[in-house]
Amino acid sequence: MIRDEILALCELSNDLFYHKIPEEKLSYYIKESLRLGREAGEAYSGKDILNLCEDNKIEIKYIKKSKKAYGVSFRAQVEMDKKHTKIWLYEGSIQELAKSSGYDGRKTLTYEEALKIHLCHEFFHYLEYTENEFVPEKLEKVVTLRVFNFTRKARIQRCSEIAANSFAKELLQLKELPNVYDYIYLINSGKISKEQFVHMIEGYESTIKKINL
Ligand SMILES: [Zn+2]
């Protein structure tokens, strides 16, 4: 079982400005993103995500084939405008993920579980959009450039992904943040080795320890 803080850090490290985050601020972005997602999830506690989509008139489009771009397979996408929201689910890729989700004592996800994880994730982005409360905008900016008394600042966009995963975990009462399955899939499909994964997690574990999280 991998702690939320570590899986959140995995996600955060993919941010364009990750290296601009001062070390003492890492725990702020991790904790706040996890909290915002969790609290949004608690507000819908006990609700079924399929019903939530229906109640919110979100159209769900099931696409049979998997969509690949630059070697990365897409599993879900959301399309939003003022009037209408559509969530695209790529059944093939979700099926592949589900099949390759057993690892290290974890039980393999069913197709339906994998599907719901993706729906929850996209539903969280829908909430951000309709409430016009995007997670990165709720959090402090980081300084990306400082020259004399000129500073440039940016938002940490990945915080929205951490919160979406935290939302899915809360709503579906999962044991871990669901981005763990992204890595498990990579291991089980031979794209990364078990050693690489363990090494990566150990690295983040030591960062988490260092920042007392
Ligand atoms: Zn997302």
Measured distance CA(60)–CA(48) in Å, rounded: 15
What's the mean pLDDT in 191-195?
A: 96
Q: How much distance in Å is there from the Cα of 193 to the middle of ligand 1?
A: 25
68: pLDDT strictly greater than 90: no
Q: How much distance in Å is there from the Cα of 125 to the middle of ligand 1?
A: 7
Ligand 1 (ion): residues with CB under 5 Å are 161, 164
Average pLDDT in the chain? 95
Measured distance CA(181)–CA(190) in Å, rounded: 14
Amino acid at 41: G
Q: How much distance in Å is there from the Cα of 136 to the middle of ligand 1?
A: 12
Q: How much distance in Å is there from the Cα of 12 to the middle of ligand 1?
A: 12
Q: How confident is the model at residue 122 (pLDDT cuts 50, 70, 90)?
A: very high
pLDDT of residue 193: 97
What's the mean pLDDT in 114-141?
A: 97
Q: How confident is the model at residue 106 (pLDDT cuts 50, 70, 90)?
A: very high
Measured distance CA(99)–CA(163) in Å, rounded: 25
Q: How much distance in Å is there from the Cα of 159 to the middle of ligand 1?
A: 10
Within its chain, how far is the Cα of 50 from the centroid? 19
6: pLDDT strictly greater than 90: yes
60: which residues sit within 8 A by CB, 6+ positions away? Answer: 53, 86, 87, 89, 119
pLDDT of residue 152: 97
Q: How much distance in Å is there from the Cα of 143 to the middle of ligand 1?
A: 24
pLDDT of residue 67: 64
- Rounded to 5°, the CA angle 60-47-159 comes to 70
SS3 16: coil
Residue that has been written with the tokens 């939003």 in this structure: 80
Residue 19 gets which letter from DSSP? Answer: G
Q: How confident is the model at residue 140 (pLDDT cuts 50, 70, 90)?
A: very high
- The ranges assigned to domains in the chain are 4-210
**The most confident of 38-42, 90-94, 103-107, by mean pLDDT:** 38-42
Q: How much distance in Å is there from the Cα of 163 to the middle of ligand 1?
A: 9
Q: How confident is the model at residue 155 (pLDDT cuts 50, 70, 90)?
A: very high
Share of the chain above pLDDT 90, in %: 93
| pLDDT tens digit sequence for 8-18 | 999 999 999 99
Four-point Cα dihedral 196, 201, 202, 203, nearest 10 = 90
What's the mean pLDDT in 119-141?
A: 97
71: pLDDT strictly greater than 60: no
Q: How much distance in Å is there from the Cα of 164 to the middle of ligand 1?
A: 6
What's the mean pLDDT in 35-49?
A: 98
pTM of the model: 0.95
